[in-house]
Amino acid sequence: MLSKDRNGTLLGLLITTILIVVFVLCQICEYTFATFTIADSVYGSVFYAATGLHFIHMVMLAMMLLVCYARMYLYHFTSTHHLNLETTILYLHVLDII
């Protein structure tokens, strides 16, 4: 955004959101076909707790990115006014690390 590349920013937000949605769908498939449940063992409990928490955060991130995309599309962000976009991207990187 600082380089004033609005179209590139829109494309990046869209591609990132699509990739997150694909990841979430893959995680849903993994939950569907898993041979264990949360009640089976400690492993099942830890697995579903950790991946479930990550799943919720990824869904929230996808929604945040869609809001940023809509605001960018509607010219709500400028090269000097884009704090919401920056904090969403920072949140994305924090989830990448985790």
pTM for the whole thing?
Answer: 0.86
Q: Does the residue 78 lie in any domain? A: yes
For residue 87, give its domain range: 6-97
Dist CA 79 CA 82 (whole Å): 7
pLDDT reported for residue 32: 92
Residue 79 has pLDDT above 90, yes or no: no
Q: Does the residue 1 lie in any domain? A: no
Q: In total, how many domains does the chain have?
A: 1
Q: Does the residue 62 lie in any domain? A: yes
CATH of the domain at 61: 1.20.120.80
Q: Does the residue 59 lie in any domain? A: yes
Question: pLDDT tens digits for 23-40?
Answer: 999 999 999 999 988 898
